[in-house]
Structure 1
Amino acid sequence: MILHLHALKYGNIAHYDWEMTLLGEREGCLIAEGAAGRKLKHHTKGQTFRIPHASLEVYALHEGYTVSFDIAEGRMISIYCNVSRPCVREGDHVSFVDLDLDLLWNETQGWHVVDEDEFESNRIRLRYPEELSQYARDSLKSLQERVEKKRFPFDGSLNDYIRHIASKTAEL
Structure 2
Amino acid sequence: MKEYNVNTYKYDHTIHYSWKSELIEENKSYILLKSLPPRKLIHHTRGQTFVYDNASLEFISKSDGFTINTDIYRNGDIEYYCNICSLPISKENNIDIVDLDIDMIIDKEGKYYFVDEDEFEINIIKYQYPDNLITEVSHLKEKLESLYRSKEFPFDGFLLKHVETIMNDLNNNSVK
- TM-score where L is the length of structure 2: 0.91
Q: Where do residues 22-37 of structure 1 align in structure 2 (5 Å cutoff)?
A: 22-26=23-27, 28-37=29-38
Of 108-117 and 75-84, more deviation after overlay is shown by 108-117
The answer on whether the counterparts of 2:24 and 2:32 sit within 8 Å (CA) in structure 1 is yes
Partner of 1:75: helix, strand, or coil? coil
Partner of 2:107 in structure 1? 106
Aligned length: 172
Structure 1: runs of 5+ lacking an equivalent: none
Which of the pair has the greater relative contact order for Cα pairs under 8 Å at 6+ separation? 1
Counterpart residue number, 1:8: 9
Amino acid in structure 1 at the alignment position of 2:166: I
Unaligned runs of 5+ in 2: none
Q: Go from structure 1 to structure 2 and tell me whether the alpha carbon gap of 1:113 and 1:148 turns closer, same or farther (over 3 Å shift).
A: same
Q: Which residue of 2 aligns with 1:56?
A: 57
Alpha-carbon distance in structure 1 between the residues aligned to 2:92 and 2:30: 15
1:137 aligns with 2:155: no
- The alignment partner of 2:158 has SS state of coil
> How many Å separate the matches in 2 of 1:85 and 1:136?
9
Mapped contact 1:74–1:167 kept (Cα < 8 A)? no
Given the superposition, is the C-alpha separation of residues 76 and 56 from structure 1 closer, same or farther in structure 2, using an over 3 Å criterion?
farther
Q: Provide, for residues 46-95 of structure 1, a one-character-per-residue CA deviation record: whole Å limited to 9, x for no partner.
A: 12221221111101112110001110114242110000111111122101
Q: Is the 8 A contact 1:38 1:52 kept in 2?
A: yes
Counting only pairs closer than 5 Å after superposition, residues 1-172 of structure 1 correspond to structure 2 as 1-26=2-27, 28-108=29-109, 110-170=111-171, 171=174, 172=176
Q: In structure 2, give the amino acid aligned to 1:146.
A: L
Question: How big is the shift at 1:128?
Answer: 1.0
Q: How much is the aligned-residue C-alpha RMSD, in angstroms?
A: 1.6
More strand by share: 1
In structure 1, distance between residues paired with 2:54 and 2:139: 30
Matched position secondary structure for 1:158: helix
Does the 8 Å CA contact 1:8/1:97 hold for their aligned counterparts?
yes
